[in-house]
Amino acid sequence: MRLILLTCLTMIAFASNSVLNRMAVDSGAIDPSSFAMIRVLSGALALCMILTVRGGGLPLWAPGRAMGAISLAAYMIGFSLAYATLDAGLGALILFGTVQVTMFGWSALRGAQPTMRQLTGAGVAFAGLLLVLWPRDWGGGDASGTILMVIAGLGWAAYTLAGKGARDPLAATAANFVVAMPLLAVLLVGSGLHAAPSGVALAIVSGAVTSGLGYALWYFVLPQLEGQTAAIVQLSVPIIAILAGALLLGEPITFIIVIAAVLVLGGIALAVTSPKAQADRS
């Protein structure tokens, strides 16, 4: 029961990032660039504090740190800027679908031999992703927001792949946040920056709590979950974001979003529950 509760809290934390970002930016309380920078800064501080309490060094110069920091910066920039126009639930669905399809494609390019079930699942998920990416107004975003969220998804997929071999994921994540801060400052600092206290507060919560503490909690529960369970439970994140966006932000749940969510999440579930996928994770 304790593991179930902690896992649910982790998924809620992940989905909350979409809601908090959309809530802060859409209300005009903060601009997307300031939100991203404050989120990374507060996340870095929270992760470094956790690392200090737990013990262990901060591997700033470890091999692959540049790739980790650059991909994290790409995710943060695309994520925050996309929510200037995308609904929280739609953004989470595009992000999640892009990440999973990209990782599947990378695995195939690296020589993995997918089964017919995996190919079918990936195809269904990709079809659902195309449905929400198609250049029409589905009542939840526009082309620029969609492109930015795809960039965020590509960045998070690269970040995930780069960190797969990390011996200490928590320390590596803290180091990536620290190194990503100057990158964000260079890329995002400019005109039009503004931040009301409420916007700053939402960015800090997103960085320190739902990102920093959320990642730390995920690293705690992940070793206790079977590979298949860990993959499937993450399918709840876009659903939570869609429902929270509707309840807290008044975002519409359109028929197209429902169909796309069924296709994307159903296709991914079909792929990750195949016998070969389970064997690869064991």
Q: Which helix (H) or strand (E) holds 19?
A: helix 2-26
Q: What is the pLDDT of residues 133-189, one digit of tens each?
A: 776 554 455 788 989 999 999 998 888 887 777 788 889 889 999 999 999 988 888
In the chain, the percentage of residues whose pLDDT exceeds 70 is 91
pLDDT of residue 80: 94
- Do you know the residue count of the chain? 282
Q: What is the pLDDT of residues 68-114, one digit of tens each?
A: 899 999 999 999 999 998 989 889 999 988 888 888 888 778 877 77
Report the predicted TM-score, pTM, of the whole model to 2 decimal places. 0.86
pLDDT of residue 189: 80
Inter-axis angle of helices 236-249 and 2-26, nearest 10: 50
User: Is-contact 115 122, C-beta < 8 A?
Assistant: no
Residue 195's DSSP bridge partners are 30
